[in-house]
Structure 1
Amino acid sequence: MSEPARRFPWAPGVSTGLGSLPGSDVVEAVSFVLDTVPEFAYLPELPARGLGADMIGRTASLLVELPMEWQPHGWTVTGAAGQDLRRARDFLHRDLDAITEHGAGLDVLKVQVTGPVTLAANAELPNLHKVLSDHGAFRDLSESLAEGVRLHLAELASRLPGTALVLQLDEPSLPAALSGSVPTPSGYGTVRSISRSVAGPALQRVLAGASPGSRTVHCCAADVPFDLLVSSGADAVAIDFALLNKANLDSVGEIVDAGTSLWLGVVPSSDAELSFAAARERVFGLWRRLGFDDALLAGTVVPTPACGLAGASPGYARRATKLLRDVGRSLLDGAEPSRS
């Protein structure tokens, strides 16, 4: 493996979170992130605040000329914005104010957005079909999202001049959409599969809103389509270590060899026993299996939780984040951990 061709805005030996945290106080959450992982900070998401702070509602607030509202069956495309969308926009505005006030001088800030496929797999049309089931509606949604992400990043750039912005697209539903296993709203059937030739350009449109080297896709599901993500413009892929298997290990090696950063979820996202040694060994163990030089590890792998931490207790979220920070820094040693 040669040195990665791309240079990422984050430094070697850092860790980061995947977005969500427990609690409802955004200033407290921002302060925690800035105190714990200032080298690779992220805009925290707090779904415990309620409707509009959830991942679908939060991303719906970014859409341009495509309003959504909460209906009894879920977030639904509507003709005009209502109180639910206004609430989602208000949450996001408060979050941006908090990071603007407390995050001046940050080198790097990551923001998370639900990806177009997962958004379409969860949002519905007025006829109660998933957006994903209508290719025309899906294209409209992905174009609206792409413009919304571009404007979102532009606003952040104006609020935090000099800070490099990293975009993370959350795509947990992508494998199910490709395999045709997304359930219909009734739950009695599944939405027809979406082809890679449709999903890829949608991902590419949204990722294009971020600068090259700053585009990440997070997929905490089995059967991650690594090649599709990289061909769509992802500079980094975030995955759950526990879902790796022999079938996808070769794919991981291929994208890493091509210069893609690997964000590796090495601690559980909900309360569990934590071990620095075990988390670090997961990183080094995978690196050994892939056969790459230890000297390249810190510049390629970013330790993360397996998924968001919204379902964890506040104490666990703090401990897990600090442990991951220490794991990341330890990778700079460039040597395998002791097996004694």
Structure 2
Amino acid sequence: MTDQPWPWPAGAATGIGSLPGTDIAEAQRVVLGELPALPHLPELPARGPGADLVGRTGGLLVELPIELYAARWRIAARPGRDLRRARDLMERDLDQLAEQAEGYAGPVKIQAGGPYTLAASVELPIGGRLLRDPGAVRDLTGSLAEGLRGHVEAVRRRLPQASVLLQLDEPSLPAVLAGRIPTESGLGAYRPVEATDAAVALRTVVEAAGVPTVLHCCAPDVPLEVVRAAGAVGVALDLALVTDLDPLGEAIDAGLGLLAGAVGTAAPPAGRAPTSAQVADRVRQLWDRLGFPRRRLAEQVVVTPACGLANASTGYVRAVLAACRDAGRRLAHE
């Protein structure tokens, strides 16, 4: 679709990232089967350290090795076993992707932690989060930018006909901006980061990656102005957490794409995932409340689960991804 301004086909659906289990081959089969229009590289945190969001992204950093210490990630003096494990897991995942998606020619989404979620999670060698040291945050941002440039190239080498879409996971960003990240003692909090500074750092990463980027934040108060200023093409959020429609409407009106988290990540008491009609209705109702024409809906919006599905059952995961896929198709054929 040459006239499609967003880097996904109309009526697309995708996953946010994490899935249950430890079998990457099976996880990729599920994703490629259920989400053919916009598959993503699955993440399996149940495999242990190095497969979690922070460790997985830490493995991509350039000249900034990380290690586990007392069950927390911190900057290391030199590369070690923990870093090798994280990089080996990623290499295995990319090899599986190349094998199972051979010849794939559409968009494929990859995910990585953003600079502020990393800075709020990774500790300095002397103690305390990187967030306490603006210079360390700048170094981290530059290292992540360079690492993601290489990661995108690694995906392109394996899937030369595909187009890459990057998702930056920033669940901690609202707390970082509001000064709500607690210090180690729990008695205080790190000073807030200015929104303009955050936008500059995020833009550094987005521009270095060199591919369309969406910012994912499954927390309340997603800073949409920062997302837009960072140069992201879209935002991924949980529809259940959207309380103020005006900022979202302004962002969409300005051309920001929306990855609409329309299905809960935990199975309801009855144990059944919502139907595709129910998922489509939820997205459509939000769109109508925002006051935009229906013809733009399927083009500008991608249907997704509300967040990662690592804690869900395999059956629920399949049902949720299928419901998202079929909801996207419903919206495209209205």
**Fold-level similarity (TM above 0.5):** yes
Assess if the C-alpha contact under 8 Å between 2:234 and 2:257 holds in 1.
yes
| Mapped partners of 1:40, 1:162: distance in 2 | 14
Aligned to 2:99: 101
Aligned to 1:202: 201
| Mapped partners of 2:208, 2:100: distance in 1 | 25
Structure 2 stretches lacking a partner, 5+ long = none
Matches within 5 A, 1:102-121: 102-106=100-104, 107-121=106-120
Aligned to 1:312: 312
> Which 10-residue stretch deviates more, 165-174 or 249-258?
249-258
> Which 10-residue stretch deviates more, 48-57 or 102-111?
102-111
Q: Does 1:10 align with 2:8?
A: yes
> 1:255: how far off?
1.0
| Mapped partners of 1:114, 1:85: distance in 2 | 16
Q: 1:88 aligns with which of 86, 89, 104?
A: 86
CA offsets 1:266-316 (integer angstroms, 9 cap, x no match): 000122242223322211111111111111110011110110000111111
Aligned positions, number? 327
Structure 1 stretches lacking a partner, 5+ long = 335-340
- After superposing on structure 2, the runs of 4+ consecutive aligned residues of structure 1 that deviate more than 4 Å are none
> 1:98: how far off?
0.3
Aligned to 1:338: none
Aligned to 2:25: 27
Q: Does 1:172 align with 2:168?
A: no
| Mapped partners of 1:70, 1:125: distance in 2 | 12
| Letter in structure 1 aligned against 2:311 | G
> 1:96: how far off?
0.6
SS in 2 for 1:158: helix
> 1:178: how far off?
0.3
> 1:103: how far off?
1.0
> 1:6: how far off?
7.3
Root mean square deviation of aligned Cα: 1.3
Q: 2:64 aligns with which of 63, 66, 76?
A: 66
Q: Give the TM-score taking structure 1 as reference length.
A: 0.94
SS in 2 for 1:297: helix
> 1:38: how far off?
1.5
> 1:333: how far off?
2.4
> Which 10-residue stretch deviates more, 279-288 or 43-52?
279-288
CA offsets 1:225-279 (integer angstroms, 9 cap, x no match): 001101111100000000011x3x1111111111111111000012224222332
Over 3 Å counting, the alpha-carbon distance change for 1:186 and 1:86 in structure 2 is farther
SS in 1 for 2:166: strand
SS in 1 for 2:299: coil
Q: 2:234 aligns with which of 233, 236, 244?
A: 236
Matches within 5 A, 1:1-340: 7-72=5-70, 74-106=72-104, 107-211=106-210, 214-245=212-243, 247=244, 249-272=245-268, 273-276=272-275, 277-334=277-334
> 1:78: how far off?
1.1
CA offsets 1:178-222 (integer angstroms, 9 cap, x no match): 00001223333211111112211111111113445x210001000
SS in 2 for 1:152: helix
| Mapped partners of 1:280, 1:72: distance in 2 | 45
| Mapped partners of 2:79, 2:240: distance in 1 | 40
Q: Give the TM-score taking structure 2 as reference length.
A: 0.95
Assess if the C-alpha contact under 8 Å between 2:73 and 2:122 holds in 1.
yes
